Amino acid sequence: MRHEQLADEALARVVSAAGLEVPDSRQAWEWRLQCALPWPVFDGYRRRRDACFAAAEDAGDVARSASVNDEFFAFVSTHPDLCRHFAAGRLGYYDALLAKVADRVRGAPHARILDLGSFAGLSTLYLGAAFPGSRVVGVERHQGAVAVAEDARRRTGIANVSFACADYAEFDAGPFDAVVSLQAMPAYLIPWLPSERPEDYSRGSNADAALGAPDATVLAVERAAAAVRRLLAAGGRAVLHERVVGLARALFFHRLLARAGLEVSDIRWADWHSVSQRDVVQSFPLVVATASGGAARADEAAIIALYSLPPSGPDLAGLPDAHAVTYSDFQAHAAFAALPASRDEVGIRMGLADGRRMHGYFGVADGRWAYIYRCDTCDERKLSVGHRNIAPALFRTGLDELGRLMATGQPVHCDPPFDTFRYRVRKHFKVKD
Ligand SMILES: C[S@@+](CC[C@H](N)C(=O)[O-])C[C@H]1O[C@@H](n2cnc3c(N)ncnc32)[C@H](O)[C@@H]1O
């Protein structure tokens, strides 16, 4: 990729002035990295990068995630050439994100802008170039990265930017009109919480409990959110793009922001890919939050709407005659909610050994549509729906499936007992063996 291949011309100018090469491909970038670095440095980089990927896949071990991430950036920052190359590997990210970030900053006062976790300084320099009348500060905890950023600042001649070496949670040069954080909060520590009820996505009382007795992971994210709020001037605006994976974590992240006094006013998907990140397209929400006086309101509905498809009903008229159609996840949730309200239904509640709670419904809507709906507190949902005439076959298959689940020993609690439920379904809907 040459500079002119960056979609964002303003970014291309900053990158060219900073003397960075734009990688053509992941292979070319890795090859250049390997050629430019002494072997122990390249090898150390590769081992730490693989440890980060492995920890991200094994999201259960959050403490390991935190330490390998910290260690990775500490290592990259101690080697200026590696730091510059790694920044070049992130250009796909900057190309996809920075114009959107600048748009959000532009929409409100922005005389003083702070970029948290500024690494090699490219996002900070971009903001400096985009807002020449503003003062832009990048804060980064690794001195080596700050030195690389300062060198890039000298090369670009962007005079309204400065860098500080500090932990942003202790940085006290504020307040700022805009605080930007691009993957600089420890979002990988956000705990995964089950939903309050199988039918809903809301984390409600489960989030209350996690906030009432916060563990070390919750405290670490809270510390970052509190720093953003503390550094924001009254009426200021935070622009955040963090690696928040999945709806459950997004809902809890927004509770943490609200508790810190940050009210989310806008949230949209922002896709990106970069050669330093396995080059797959990734998508995380770009969030705008404003500073509120005390604790802010967390609007779960807005987050759920962002993660789910627009609720649309199943095409009942277009259902095939002889078999059911199955919806899963968010589509199942929306389709179940949109079934006709007149329902003749038999339900079962199960508690599973892994702590999940699952509800199952076998029913007929409007006398015409037979359905089975299963949902649990881990956001797993499945709706099978067909014409009334297939009810016996559909329900027989559904009972067999539940019977197999019972046989695994996973359900530790059933209300009513499974045999009673099976008897009711068979009798009520005239299901024969
Ligand atoms: C994933 S990188 C993102 C860097 C940059 N924002 C970008 O988009 O390329 C995270 C950076 O934030 C820095 N960082 C993380 N926590 C920090 C803290 N509490 N104070 C200062 N810097 C921090 C790390 O050292 C690292 O350079």
Q: List pLDDT tens digits, range 216-269.
A: 889 999 999 999 999 999 989 999 999 998 899 999 999 999 999 999 999 999
What pLDDT does residue 273 have? 83
Asked if pLDDT for residue 311 goes beyond 80, the answer is no
What pLDDT does residue 310 have? 59
Q: List pLDDT tens digits, range 386-424.
A: 999 999 999 999 999 999 999 999 999 999 999 999 999
Residue 215 CB partners (closer than 8 Å, separation 6+): 191
Name the pTM for this structure: 0.85
Q: β-pairing, 357-365 with 343-352? A: antiparallel
Q: CATH classification of 3-306 is 3.40.50.150, yes or no? A: yes
Residue with the larger pLDDT of the pair 69 and 373: 373
Lowest mean pLDDT among 44-58, 180-194, 305-319: 305-319
Asked if pLDDT for residue 2 goes beyond 70, the answer is no
What pLDDT does residue 155 have? 98
What residue ranges in 103-249 does DSSP mark as E strands? 112-116, 135-140, 161-165, 176-182, 232-241
Q: Tell me the CA distances in angstroms from 132 to 49, 111, 129, 164, 262, one per residue in order.
A: 36, 10, 6, 19, 27
The dihedral over CA atoms of 272, 140, 122, 110, expressed in degrees to the nearest 10, equals 90
Asked if pLDDT for residue 1 goes beyond 60, the answer is no
What pLDDT does residue 9 have? 96
CB 324 within 8 A of CB 386: yes
Q: Where are the domains of the chain?
A: 3-306, 316-428
Best of 20, 114, 122, 140 for a ligand 1 pocket test (most atoms within 8 Å of beta carbon): 140
Task: Give 309 Cα–ligand 1 centroid separation in angstroms.
Answer: 32
Q: What is the number of other CB atoms lying within 10 angstroms of the CB of residue 424? A: 15
HSE-CB for 252 with a 13 A CA cutoff:
30
pLDDT grade for 188, boundaries at 50, 70 and 90: confident
What pLDDT does residue 59 have? 58
What pLDDT does residue 63 have? 67
Task: Give 70 Cα–ligand 1 centroid separation in angstroms.
Answer: 9
Ligand 1 site residues, Cβ closer than 6 angstroms:
73, 90, 117, 119, 123, 139-142, 145, 167-169, 182-184
What pLDDT does residue 143 have? 98
What pLDDT does residue 324 have? 86
Query: Quick one: which H or E segment has residue 90?
Result: none
Q: Output the average pLDDT for the chain.
A: 92
